[in-house]
Amino acid sequence: MRTFSAKSLALLLCLLLRSHASAQTPFSGTPAIEQSLNKLTVLGSVLMIAAHPDDENTAILAYYARGRHMRTAYLSLTRGEGGQNLIGPEQGDLLGLIRSQELLAARRIDGAEQFFTRAIDFGYSKTPEETFEKWGRERILSDVVWVIRRFRPDVVILRFSGTPRDGHGHHQVSAILGKEAFFAAADRSRFPEQLKYVEPWKARRLLFNTFSFTRDQEKEAAAVPGRIEVDTGAFNPVLGVSYSQIAGMSRSMHRSQGMGVSQRPGPTRQFLVPVAGDPPSKDAFDGIDTSWDRVPGGADIGRILEEAVRTFVPDHPERTIPLLVKAHPLIAALHDPWAVAKLRELNEAVALCAGLWLDADADTYAVVPGGTLDINYTALNRSQFPLALDSLTLEGMGSDSRTGAHHAALEPNQPVNAHLKFTVPAGEPYSQPFWLREPKHGDTYTISDQRLIGLPEDPPLLALHFAIEAGGVSLDLVRPVRHRYIDRVEGEQERALVVVPRVALNLPQDVVLFPNGSARKVEIEVSAQVPKVSGDVRLALDSGWSADPVSRAFSQAEAGLEQPLTFDVKPAPGPDPPAWLRGVARVGDREIGVGMQVISHPPLPPLTVFPPAVVKLVRANVQVTAHKVGYVMGAGDEMPDAIRQLGCAVTLLTPSDLEQRDLSEFDVIVTGVRAYNTRADLRANLPRLLDYVRNGGTLIDQYNVTDRNLVPMGPYPFTVSHARVSVEEAPVAFTNLGNPLLSKPNEITQKDFEGWVQERGLYFASEWDPKYQTVLESHDPGEKPLAGGMLYTRYGKGVYIFSGYSWFRQLPAGVAGAYRLFANMLSAK
Ligand SMILES: [Zn+2]
C-alpha cells in the first residue's frame, strides 16, 4: 500500500471534517466526554447506503456510532428533492436543501456523519433502468466509489436488496450501485482520476440490513444463511436511553416528511445478511481489528487512551488531560488517515475535559464582497488545568493568515477576548450552496470541484484556528466564525456567515403566463442588503420580446428596504417555446443578476440561497371562463398563484369559510393536493361542498393519498389507489372526445401533453361509479392503461372533477398545455 502525502490527506480530511466542527449533540457534560474518550480507542468504521433522506436505519447508525463508538456514516444518493413538503411551500432544490439540514440535525443526535451523491430525486421511479437513464450509471457509481474511498469503511451496509422487492427504482439502484462500488472502490483502474486525492479502498464486508413487510418475507429472511442479529434496543446507561430511542429522536428531525416517531424502549431486533466480502459469524466486525493495533506504531497509543477511559473521573475530567496530551505527539507522528481523524477528535476531547469555550463571533452574518467583518473571539478555560492561547489563524475566503495574536495564559474561568478585522475579498462569490452553483446535468448536480462531491453542506466560509497549548503540546481547535445574537423569544441564536450581493433582485413569480398577445406587468423587487445603495435595473429578454421602460433607477437609504419596480413586458407574436427574462441590476461598476431567499424552519438553521433573477415567460393561447376561484389549501402547493396567472381571482378558503360562507359566489372551488388527508374541516364540510355543486358550482379535487384520513370524495363513490404514471413523457390517449374538458374553451391536442415535468400523475382512481365519465388514459411503459386519472360527472346543476394528474407540478413549472387543460377544468359547466 502506498503511503499518503500527509499534506494532501490533511487537506482532504480537513474539508471533510470541518463541516462538523460546530456539530452539537444532545449529549453534554459527562455523557459527551464518555462518548468522545471511548471513540478515541476505536478505529472501526461503517457506512450505510440508501437512496433518500428517511431510508436510513437510524437505530443501526446510533448503535454503531454511540454504542460501539465506530466512525459511522449514511450515504443518501439524493437529498430528497422530489418528495412532498409538510412544513412549507418549498419544492425541488429548496426542499433538497431543507432535507440536507434535517439529515444533519438527525446525525447530530445519532452520532453519524452524512454524505450525498450528485443524484437528484426526480420523483417516483418504477424501475432501476429509468433511474439509471436519468442519472447516468457511471456518474453516480463514481460518487459512491468516491465516498467509500474517502470514508474508508470496514463494513458497508445496504438498506435495500437491489431487486424489485425494494419498490422505488431509486431504492433498487442504491443497492445495485452499492454492490458495484464495493468492488470498484478497491480497483485502481476504476475512476483513476479520483486517485489524485484518495487511495483505492477495500472494505472488508458488504451486508444487507433486511426488512420484512410480511410474515412470509420474515420467514424467508430468517432462513438466509449467515444472518446476524443486532439488538438496537440495548440500553446505554451513560446516555440513559437505548439506541432505538436515540433513533426515535433522530428520526423526528425529518420534519418536512412528517417522520415524527415514538421512542419506544425495549428490545428491537435488526438483521444483517452477508452480501459480499468474508461473511461474519456473529458480529458485523468479526475478524476486523478495530483497536489501535491496526495502525503500525499504534499499540502504545491504544494503551494510553484505554487508560484515559479507565481512569476518567466525572467530577474531575481535567485529570484525564495529561494522558490525552501524552498520546498527542505519538498520533501526530503517524502517517495514516486514522491519525488525522483521531488527532482532531483528541483535541476536541481535551477541550471537553477542560470545559474549554472557544468562540468566533462576527458583528453581522451577512457581508458583501469587499465588506469588512469585526470578529470578536473568546477563549475560556473552565478548568484548573493550565492552558494557554498561543496563536490564531483565520482560514477561508482566500485567507490563511496568522493573525496578530499574542501568547496568553488561560486562567481558570477568566475569558481572554479581543477583536480582529477581516476584509472579504472583492471577488468573493455569493454563498450559494455548492451543488446549486452550476447548471444541472439532467437529473444530477454539476460540481466541478471533486473535493466537494459527497459533502452534505458547504464548509464554513471562515473558520478560526485556535492554537491551544496544553502540557507542552499545541492543539489545533477550529471554530467557524458565526454571528451570535439574542432573540427576545428564542434566546441566544447563531447564524452562519453568508456573502450577499449589495442588492438582491427578487421576482415574485418563477413563471409568467401570457394567455394572449397582450403585454403584462412584471414586477421586480430590489432589496437592499447594505445602506445607501443606488443604481438601475434592466430586463434582458429573448428576441421578439420587449420591455417598457428599458430600465428603471432605484435608490435606498437603509439595508432591508424593498423597492418594487414594474415593467410592461410584451410577448413575441405567436405561441413560441418558452422565453426567459433576466433581471440585471447595476450598482457602480458591478452587475448583479441574483435574488436572495432565506428559508426559515426552526429549529433548522436559516438557509440562504441566491436564485438567478430569471423568469420563464410562457406564451400560450389559453381561455378561461371562470372568474372567482375558491382554493382549499392542503399539504401545500403553488396552485393559487398559477391560477391567478390565468386572470382568475383566487380566495384561500379558511375553516370558517367552509363552514359558513356562502360558497355560491365562487365559479369554481379547487381543493389542494392532499387537502382531504390534511384538513379535518374539509372532511367535515364535504356535504356543504356537494350542495354547492348541486346548486351549480364546479368542484375540482386533486390527488390525495390513500390513508386513514381519506374520506370518500365526490358525489358518487370512487376508490383512490396507488396507481401512478411516473414517466412524464408517457403517451396520453383521449378516450372521450365528446367530453367538454377536451374542447371547451380550449381545443386540447397531443401538443398539450408535451414538456411535462417529473410525472404524469399519481394516486389515480382504480374503481368508480358508472356515473363518472373518464376522459384520458395513460400508463408507464409496459403497464396497463390507467383511466382513473381524470373523472368527470355532472351532479345537480354543477360539475364534479377528480384529477390525479400532477397539475401542482406542471402549472408552477409553466407547462403551457397543462394550463390549457386546467383552464378547461376551471371553466367546466
Ligand atoms: Zn426512499
Q: 65 alpha carbon to ligand 1 midpoint, in Å?
A: 22
Measured CA to CA, the distance from residue 713 to residue 483 in angstroms comes to: 51
Distance 236 CA to ligand 1 centre (A): 29
Distance 59 CA to ligand 1 centre (A): 16
Query: Could you tell me which of 644, 646, 639 has the C-alpha nearest to residue 625?
Result: 646
Gap from CA of 771 to ligand 1 centroid (Å) = 38
CA of 168 to the centre of ligand 1 (A): 7
Measuring CA to CA, how many Å separate 177 from each of 155, 275, 304?
Answer: 16, 13, 41
How high is the pLDDT of residue 575? 63
pLDDT, tens digit (0-9, with 9 covering 90-100), for 533-571:
999 999 999 888 999 999 999 999 999 889 999 999 999
Contact 430, 499 (CB under 8 A): yes
CA 452 centroid distance within chain: 16
CA of 166 to the centre of ligand 1 (A): 9
Q: What pLDDT is recorded for position 404?
A: 61
Distance 80 CA to ligand 1 centre (A): 8
> How confident is the model over 734-741, as a mean pLDDT?
96
- Distance from the alpha carbon of residue 159 to the mean position of ligand 1, in angstroms: 10
Question: What mean pLDDT is predicted for residues 700-726?
Answer: 94
Query: In terms of pLDDT, which residue wins out, 152 or 267?
Result: 152
Task: Give the separation between CA 242 and CA 236, rounded to whole angstroms.
Answer: 6
Q: Are 776 and 789 in contact (CB under 8 A)?
A: yes
CA of 54 to the centre of ligand 1 (A): 6
- Position 261 scores a pLDDT of 63
- Is pLDDT at 16 greater than 50 in this prediction? no
For the chain, report the end-to-end CA distance as a whole number of angstroms. 76
Element (H, E) at 419: strand 416-423
Q: How far out from the chain centre does Cα 225 lie? A: 37
pLDDT in tens, 318-377: 999 999 999 999 999 999 999 999 999 999 999 999 999 999 999 999 999 999 999 999
CA of residue 746 to ligand 1 center, whole Å: 39
CA of 101 to the centre of ligand 1 (A): 17
What is the CA(199)–ligand 1 centre distance, in A?
A: 30
Does the structure show a pLDDT above 80 at 4? Answer: no
Whole-number Å distance, alpha carbon 715 to ligand 1 midpoint, is 35
- Distance of CA 185 from the midpoint of ligand 1 (Å): 24
Long-range contacts of 26-33 (CB under 8 A, 24+ apart): 26/108, 26/109, 26/249, 27/239, 30/238, 30/314, 30/317, 31/238, 31/239, 31/240, 32/352, 33/312, 33/314, 33/317, 33/320, 33/349, 33/352, 33/353
- Say how many Å lie between the CA of residue 169 and the centre of ligand 1: 9
**What's the predicted TM-score (pTM) here?**
0.84
Q: How many CA atoms lie within 13 A of 407 on its CB side?
A: 4
Backbone φ and ψ for 644, nearest 5 degrees, come out as -60, -30
Question: From ligand 1's centre to the CA of 174, what distance in Å?
Answer: 10
Reported confidence tier of residue 101, pLDDT bands at 50, 70, 90: very high
> Which carries the bigger pLDDT value, residue 452 or residue 403?
452
Q: How many residues does the chain have?
A: 829
pLDDT digits (tens, 9 = 90+) for 212-248: 666 776 777 777 788 999 999 999 999 999 998 888 8
